[in-house]
Chains A and B, each alone.
Chain A
Amino acid sequence: MQLFQTPGDTILAKPASSRKAPAKAADGAENFALRSLQEALEKNPRFAASDDELLKFYEQMLLIRRFEEKAGQLYGLGLIGGFCHLYIGQEAVAVGLQSALDESRDSVITGYRDHGHMLAYGIDPKVIMAELTGRGAGISKGKGGSMHMFSVEHKFYGGHGIVGAQVPLGAGLAFAHQYREDGGLCMAYFGDGAANQGQVYEAFNMAALWNLPAIFVVENNGYAMGTAVTRGSAETEFHRRGTAFRIPGMKVNGMDVLEVRAAAEIAVAHVRAGKGPVLMELHTYRYRGHSMSDPAKYRTREEVQEMRENHDPIDAAKAELLKRGVAEERLKEIEKQIRSIVNESADFAENSPEPDMAELYTDVLVESY
């Protein structure tokens, strides 16, 4: 029991002097339209990308794919240790969503499957790979590892290893945007597994109550480690899970980068207009195991094969580019460039020295006392 919580206390009354009144609550229940964003998306489900824009998405997705394949390889060689969660298959989510953000003011936070988000945000592959191999040149000086990477410069706030923790942290970043009135928003990614953590709903409640500029993104890849969503979730339509807090939801095909981008624009416009948080559910699929040590026996090889062959976001983007008449040579050139970027990052990661032993004691505290 909490102290001082007796009937009749002011706690039961809605604080009148409180922060900006939530816009939705003010609208009253009759005007409360949870599906408005979804309807907007259905009306116009694909972003009208120019050839150059689509090429850019293709390039970014391919970079993530090749980077992650290389990371898997380096793990196999023992150059990467511990846990390593690959983003292969989910590329369209990070690329499509982040392309709609304003890098100069918006912040991003995610869980432990974070390499793809960092690459989509333009962070140098070299320092990411060097972090994976635990080298001093890594983005966290080799002290964070795969799950704990940050770039304050790029407003990328991690890289968090505790499932679901990034959701209230993301709400806190959104709170800071609102407090400073800098016009930014925070995009907080989490998985279908994290969506069952209690703190996620604590954060939803406060985000809606305080009208925070937050976009909550459920990357529903079908499996919470080895537990299929139907075995772990009573409500598998995750976009509905904001309903109890009057947060509008969107259900998006996360294997189509143009649909992801279209959805992102709707969500961003809603949040920027001061209408409070949005919950997006992106349907996606990871081809690899949960982590490198996952034998993935909870699903069939055929299921994975079907996704790879018929729903791959990179193949789809490539097919569309070719259909638009973009020369195959150009795509081959991009592929070649990416291979060389990734190989370079791997060489860098392998050949950079381990952190200086003195680093053991640095950065524990900022100040000295």
Chain B
Amino acid sequence: MSIELKMPALSPTMEEGTLAKWLVKVGDEVKAGDILAEIETDKATMEFEAVDEGTVGAILVPEGTEGVKVGTVIAVIGGEGESVSALASAPAQPAEAAPATIAAERPAPAVRPADPVVPAGTNMRQVTVREALRDAMAEEMRRDSRVFVMGEEVAQYQGAYKVTQGLLDEFGPKRVIDTPITEYGFAGIGVGAAMGGLRPIVEFMTFNFAMQAIDHVINSAAKTNYMSGGQMRCPVVFRGPNAAASRVGAQHSQNFGPWYASVPGLIVIAPYDASDAKGLLKAAIRSEDPVVFLENELVYGRSFELPELDDHVLPIGKARIMREGKDVTIVSYSIGVGLALEAAETLAAEGIEAEVLDLRTLRPLDKEAVLASLAKTNRLVIAEEGWPVCSIASEIMAICMEDGFDHLDAPVLRVCDEDVPLPYAANLEKAAIIDAPRIVAAVRKVCYR
């Protein structure tokens, strides 16, 4: 049996190369591993090794030939004891078939369920966001023994921000685990534990520190299900405070919502009030997908009404109308929702009825809710506590341009933080971060008032 040797592809980008030198001649016996030739690729000069044994039957491309296309037959090796003259050309193999790539239709997203109806007469309780988050974790830990919490100071210290308060007492050190200060490492351990069948909640003391661990959030957690053809799930929740706190300077004050929301394979949730914090964290823990759950330190201590239900779980991917209005839509999420509501109050006094839409989930984004509100009000402003460039605001604007253009009576405006690292000085910090008056001003502008 004879073997055709073809011009090899020796790099991911090589299409042709130069046959620099033959190190064997016709009649030579070669065995696997022998260097047959030197080939210059687009990157380097490579040695071309024999993979089978036999006698060199013919050299079809002489040395020094340039521009030899990958796949060209350059030599023929005869099998053991085979005469050179008997070599015939074996059937040629197409180097590559180039089928026309016609992308299949992207499946339409499923219709998302609305929030479950709170039965009439349900007792409403004032609860802080901090307590709501803790209760969500505790309830899910009671429900599913695979759920555990790990992070810096989550156990003995009761949480750097007291979000995990009381969990160690109830669930013990096996399920409430203090880690060393080693974000990259414990994020990886959390992801590995999820791959191994557990349901980790990985707390970052703040998402600023998660930058050290972002490789595991994105490369290990978000991409694995796809890369494994759906075999390997990674049901992990990364949670902790995100965005600016108060007077902690640039390195501790950043909104990572847009970063994570840009990554396919992740769920990104950024709730505002206690009900959403609880209902969505419970949904996040139950999700089969990796979730980035962005909290806000300044909101932890705020109290909101929370329905007292046995199992308060809310749908991921569904925005919520926080205040109805007909004149303009203010889209926001997380702490920005409070500012938007404040702005709406001011605007109401001026006779402008603003609708406030809380995105709640940043990925998958509830595009339909944004467009439905826009269709109703025809004007839209986004309020985002974060940088303006490549932001969630940018994404909402793109959605309005692509799918809501016919409904627009004015350009969409965004109200974001100043495009600077967050300063420490109180006056500069205040100037850098969005507030209700700025939202009010933008709304007036889109209403031509």
Stretch of A152-160, A227-235, A249-257 contacting B (4+ beta carbons < 8 Å): A152-160
Asked if residues A169 and B192 are in contact (CB atoms below 8 Å), the reply is yes
What 1/0 flags go to A73-92 for Cβ under 8 Å of B? Answer: 10111110111000000000
| Contacts A77-B93, A157-B195; A368 near B219 (Cβ below 8 A) | no
When distances are taken between beta carbons in the complex, the residues of chain A under 8 Å from B364 are 369
When distances are taken between beta carbons in the complex, the residues of chain A under 8 Å from B184 are 168, 198-199, 202
Asked if residues B226 and A143 are in contact (CB atoms below 8 Å), the reply is yes
Q: How far is the CA of A192 from the CA of B250 in the complex (A)?
A: 37
| Contacts A69-B32, A357-B102; A150 near B228 (Cβ below 8 A) | yes
**A325 proximal to B (CB < 8 A):** no
**A141 proximal to B (CB < 8 A):** yes
Interface of chain B residues 181 through 221 with chain A (CB within 8 A): 181-182, 184-198, 205-206, 209, 215-216, 219-220
What 1/0 flags go to A4-41 for Cβ under 8 Å of B? Answer: 11000111000101110000000000000000000000
Q: How large is the interface on B (under 10, 10 to 19, 20 to 34, 35 or more residues)?
A: 35 or more
| Contacts A17-B173, A82-B12; A175 near B228 (Cβ below 8 A) | no
When distances are taken between beta carbons in the complex, the residues of chain B under 8 Å from A172 are 188-196
B205 to chain A, nearest CB (A): 6
User: Of B168, B193, B231, which one neighbours A173 at CB under 8 angstroms?
Assistant: B193
What 1/0 flags go to B1-39 for Cβ under 8 Å of A? Answer: 000001011111010000000000000000011010000
When distances are taken between beta carbons in the complex, the residues of chain A under 8 Å from B173 are 15, 17-19
A80: nearest residue on chain B (CB-CB)? Answer: B9
**A98 proximal to B (CB < 8 A):** no
| Contacts A18-B173, A205-B185, A360-B103; A148 near B195 (Cβ below 8 A) | no
Asked if residues B185 and A140 are in contact (CB atoms below 8 Å), the reply is no
**B267 proximal to A (CB < 8 A):** yes
User: Of A149, A169, A198, A357, which one neighbours B195 at CB under 8 angstroms?
Assistant: A169
Q: How far is the CA of A364 from the CA of B35 in the complex (A)?
A: 44
**A45 proximal to B (CB < 8 A):** no
| Contacts A150-B228, A369-B315; A206 near B186 (Cβ below 8 A) | yes
Asked if residues A83 and B12 are in contact (CB atoms below 8 Å), the reply is yes
**B233 proximal to A (CB < 8 A):** yes
A144: nearest residue on chain B (CB-CB)? Answer: B227
A side interface size, CB within 8 A: 87
| Contacts A144-B229, A293-B43; A179 near B198 (Cβ below 8 A) | yes
When distances are taken between beta carbons in the complex, the residues of chain A under 8 Å from B153 are 4, 11
| Contacts A75-B9, A76-B10, A369-B315; A361 near B191 (Cβ below 8 A) | no
Q: How far is the CA of A356 from the CA of B148 in the complex (A)?
A: 39
Q: How far is the CA of A289 from the CA of B430 in the complex (A)?
A: 57
A309: nearest residue on chain B (CB-CB)? Answer: B33
When distances are taken between beta carbons in the complex, the residues of chain B under 8 Å from A167 are 188
What 1/0 flags go to A192-213 for Cβ under 8 Å of B? Answer: 0000001100110110010000
When distances are taken between beta carbons in the complex, the residues of chain B under 8 Å from A169 are 188-189, 191-192, 195, 216, 220
Asked if residues A179 and B148 are in contact (CB atoms below 8 Å), the reply is yes
Highest count of chain B CB atoms <10 Å: which of A158, A170, A199: A199
When distances are taken between beta carbons in the complex, the residues of chain B under 8 Å from A173 are 192-193, 195-196
Stretch of B107-115, B271-279, B412-420 contacting A (4+ beta carbons < 8 Å): B107-115
Determine chain B's interface SS by DSSP, over half rule: loop
B10: nearest residue on chain A (CB-CB)? Answer: A293
When distances are taken between beta carbons in the complex, the residues of chain B under 8 Å from A104 are none
B97 to chain A, nearest CB (A): 9
When distances are taken between beta carbons in the complex, the residues of chain B under 8 Å from A11 are 153, 157
When distances are taken between beta carbons in the complex, the residues of chain A under 8 Å from B12 are 81-83, 293
A136: nearest residue on chain B (CB-CB)? Answer: B229
Q: How far is the CA of A73 from the CA of B3 in the complex (A)?
A: 12
A38 to chain B, nearest CB (A): 26
**B393 proximal to A (CB < 8 A):** no
Q: How far is the CA of A19 from the CA of B179 in the complex (A)?
A: 11
Q: How far is the CA of A281 from the CA of B305 in the complex (A)?
A: 58
**A244 proximal to B (CB < 8 A):** no
Asked if residues A19 and B177 are in contact (CB atoms below 8 Å), the reply is yes
When distances are taken between beta carbons in the complex, the residues of chain B under 8 Å from A301 are 35
**A292 proximal to B (CB < 8 A):** yes
Asked if residues A176 and B192 are in contact (CB atoms below 8 Å), the reply is yes
| Contacts A3-B252, A206-B180; A168 near B110 (Cβ below 8 A) | no
When distances are taken between beta carbons in the complex, the residues of chain B under 8 Å from A179 are 148, 174, 193, 198
Interface of chain A residues 110 through 155 with chain B (CB within 8 A): 138-144, 148-152
A320 to chain B, nearest CB (A): 21
Highest count of chain A CB atoms <10 Å: which of B35, B148, B220: B220
Asked if residues B104 and A358 are in contact (CB atoms below 8 Å), the reply is yes
B314 to chain A, nearest CB (A): 12
Asked if residues A152 and B219 are in contact (CB atoms below 8 Å), the reply is no
**A189 proximal to B (CB < 8 A):** no
| Contacts A165-B220, A169-B191; A369 near B70 (Cβ below 8 A) | no
Q: How far is the CA of A159 from the CA of B219 in the complex (A)?
A: 12
Asked if residues B11 and A293 are in contact (CB atoms below 8 Å), the reply is yes
When distances are taken between beta carbons in the complex, the residues of chain A under 8 Å from B71 are 77-78
Asked if residues A76 and B6 are in contact (CB atoms below 8 Å), the reply is yes
Q: How far is the CA of A51 from the CA of B337 in the complex (A)?
A: 73
**A363 proximal to B (CB < 8 A):** yes
Stretch of B44-52, B82-90, B130-138, B325-333 contacting A (4+ beta carbons < 8 Å): B44-52
When distances are taken between beta carbons in the complex, the residues of chain B under 8 Å from A366 are 225, 230, 233, 235, 287-289
Q: How far is the CA of A64 from the CA of B342 in the complex (A)?
A: 67
Asked if residues B265 and A364 are in contact (CB atoms below 8 Å), the reply is yes
Interface of chain B residues 136 through 176 with chain A (CB within 8 A): 148, 152-153, 155-157, 160, 168, 173-174
Asked if residues B104 and A357 are in contact (CB atoms below 8 Å), the reply is yes
**B295 proximal to A (CB < 8 A):** no
User: Of B14, B152, B187, B316, which one neighbours A369 at CB under 8 angstroms?
Assistant: B316
> What are 26 residue pairs bridging A and B, where the CB atoms are less than 8 Å apart in the complex?
A3-B248, A17-B156, A17-B173, A19-B177, A69-B32, A77-B8, A152-B228, A157-B195, A157-B196, A168-B189, A171-B188, A172-B188, A172-B193, A173-B196, A176-B192, A176-B197, A180-B197, A202-B182, A292-B10, A358-B104, A360-B103, A360-B104, A365-B289, A366-B233, A366-B287, A366-B289
Q: A75-B8, A175-B192, A367-B288 are in contact. List 9 more A-B contacts (CB 8 A).
A: A69-B32, A76-B6, A141-B230, A173-B193, A198-B184, A205-B185, A297-B44, A364-B265, A366-B230
Closest 3 CB pairs of A and B: A172-B192, A168-B188, A202-B185
List the interface of chain A (C-beta within 8 A of B): 2-5, 9-11, 15, 17-19, 69-70, 72-73, 75-79, 81-83, 107, 109, 138-144, 148-152, 157-162, 165, 167-177, 179-180, 186, 198-199, 202-203, 205-206, 209, 287, 292-293, 295-297, 301, 308, 354, 356-358, 360-369
